[in-house]
Structure 1
Amino acid sequence: MPVFVIFFAGSLLVGFLGRKTRFGFWGNFFASMLLSPLVGLLLILAAEPVNAKTPDSPQTGE
């Protein structure tokens, strides 16, 4: 039982840390529940932030 609690808490932490990535909170949470929190952490490190701006993106609001 304590192992499941640690695994679940780690998955929640991974989801929280990945909330501003492409998969968001729920995607990172479920990925870390299915694989492991360590793999979920690797996914976060490899993921690109959602609001990443590129120089060729069109300007809006003008």
Structure 2
Amino acid sequence: MVEGHVPADQVHGLEAELPELTGGEGVLETAFDHHRPATTPRTRRRTDHNPVHREEYLLHAHRRM
């Protein structure tokens, strides 16, 4: 038995790796323990057009219709 803390955003990755790590015999039990703010907020590039730039946004939105 191994006990520890795993950040919530990494649970699915651990769950996916568990069968290979344990020869298919591992069991993962998780429970929410506490909340702690992230040390560095995640960022990602915009995947669509920015509605704050209204003219550019409307131009692209009109082309999709």
The TM-score bracket by the shorter chain reads under 0.3
TM-score (norm 1): 0.26
TM-score (norm 2): 0.26
Q: Which is richer in helix?
A: 1
Tell me: higher relative CO, structure 1 or 2? Use CA pairs within 8 A at least 6 residues apart: 1
Which of structures 1 and 2 has the bigger CA Rg? Answer: 2
